[in-house]
Amino acid sequence: MSDLVLGIDHVSVLVQDTRRSLDFYRSVLGLEVDPSRPDLGYPGAWLRAGVHAIHLIQMPNPDPVTGRPAHGGHDRHIALRVADLNALRFRLDVSGIPHAVSRSGRKAVFCRDPDGNALEFTEAKV
C-alpha cells in the first residue's frame, strides 16, 4: 500500500441530464444521494456507494458516446461491488436495461448508464 495515496474518495461521470441519471442510479441501483457534499455551482449530484461516492456531473461530454465497445468490460468503467448479482440482473431486466455477463467466466455483469458510461458489477464475497 502506498504511504501517500490511501484510497479512492470518489469517481465522477459526465451526464447530460442529472434527473434522468438519478432515476437510473437511485431507482435501478438503489444508491442514495449524499446531501452533505458541496454544491459546485453546476448541475449534478453526489451518490453514496458504500464508503465511496459517485459524482454525477452535468456538463458537455468531450468524448464520443457512439462507437464504444459493445461490451462494457472493453471500455473505461466503474466497478461496483453488489450483494447479489442475480438481484441486480433482475432489476436491470425489469428496467429494460441491456446487460452482459463477463466474457472471462468470472462472476461479473456489465451495463451502461443512460449516458453510455460503462458499469461493472461484481458480487461481494461473504
Name the 3-class secondary structure at 24.
helix
Residue ranges matching CATH 3.10.180.10 in the chain: 10-58, 72-123
Distance separating alpha carbons of residues 119 and 126, to the nearest angstrom: 22
Identify the residue whose cell numbers are 448479482. 85
Pick the CATH number of 10-58 from 3.10.180.10, 3.30.110.70, 3.40.1170.60, 3.40.50.10320: 3.10.180.10
pTM of the model: 0.90
Q: Where are the alpha helices (DSSP H) in the chain?
A: 18-22, 85-94
Calculate what percentage of the chain has a pLDDT beyond 70: 98
Q: 64-97: per-residue pLDDT in tens? A: 878 888 888 889 999 999 999 999 999 999 999 9
Would you say residue 1 has pLDDT above 80? Answer: no
